[in-house]
Amino acid sequence: MTSCGESVAEAAGPPATAVLTGRTAVVTGGSGAIGSAIARSLAAQGATVAVVDADERAESVAAEVGGFAIVSDLTGPAVPLRIVEQAITTTGSLDVLVNAAGIQVRTAAVDITASEWERLLAVNLTAAYRLTQAAVTALSATRGSIINIVSLSADRAVAGIVPYGATKAALVQLTRGLAVELGPLGIRVNAVAPGYVLTPMTASILEQPDFRDRVLARIPLGRLADGDDIADVVTFLASDAARYMTGTVLPVDGGYSIT
């Protein structure tokens, strides 16, 4: 029983759902619509979150979730190791790596410039690869987890974002290959493939009524996703509830991919 001045929550201690208490997570792209939702979801389950982004809004997201920000462009070759070192220096360990940073260029594939192509590769693929390399030792020590944010366009041809889809397809294959190689070290590697999520990156097309209506007509659940829809699946994969899952690519698309 509790005293009159003591709430049930206070008597019970931390909520039973705080499944990531004591763990440290690094979330890249952490100031974006999806990345910030992931940071909030992980923090709500008890994790200390390093919010990584080139955008200084990472500072406000970190303050909101009680974590810390690392404001940096991911494409510098020395940056991944610095991120891992800062996370370990701040909290003592690294348990979860979420590669959510991503950019998109909407243009015909034959019209993309060399600099746009290189930037897509650098942010969407190479940064995730290098950060994984830098984090392997720390994650093996904690038997940690890596979650990559990919896309439904990784396995289907979508006009106007072909180079973007190519980078996400490569990230899917990287996810699967790393799951095989890192499994013996106790590291799980999975991916989440969002469907249509209304974000600043997709607003220009999803706010077009005709296009939006065509998309919604193919989604059995009848709505676009929001960041929380993606974030909660990421948090599941980071938790012990997914302890026997690796090499998996989970579509979070309201059923779009089956229609």
Place of tokens 């991911």: 74
Exactly one of 164, 196, 244, 256 is catalytic; name it: 164
Q: Are 25 and 98 in contact (CB under 8 A)?
A: yes
Q: Can you tell me the distance from the alpha carbon of 61 to that of 185, in angstroms, rounded to the nearest whole number?
A: 32
Q: Which amino acid is at 8?
A: V
- Residue 35 in 3-state DSSP? helix
Q: At residue 161, what are phi and psi to the nearest 5 degrees?
A: -135, 35
Reply yes or no on whether 164 is catalytic: yes
Q: Are 103 and 123 in contact (CB under 8 A)?
A: yes
Q: Which burial class, exposed, middle or buried, applies to 220 when counting CB atoms under 10 A from its CB (0-12, 13-18, 19+)? A: exposed
Q: Which stretches of the chain are DSSP H helices?
A: 8-12, 33-44, 58-65, 79-91, 114-121, 127-142, 162-182, 203-206, 209-217, 227-238
Per-residue model confidence as pLDDT tens for the chain (259 residues)? 344 444 444 444 444 558 999 999 999 999 999 999 999 999 999 999 999 999 999 999 999 999 999 999 999 999 999 999 999 999 999 999 999 999 999 999 999 999 999 999 999 999 999 999 999 999 999 999 999 999 999 998 889 999 999 999 999 999 999 999 999 999 999 999 999 998 888 888 898 999 999 999 999 999 999 999 999 999 999 999 999 999 999 999 999 999 9
Domains of the chain: 19-199+227-253 (3.40.50.720)
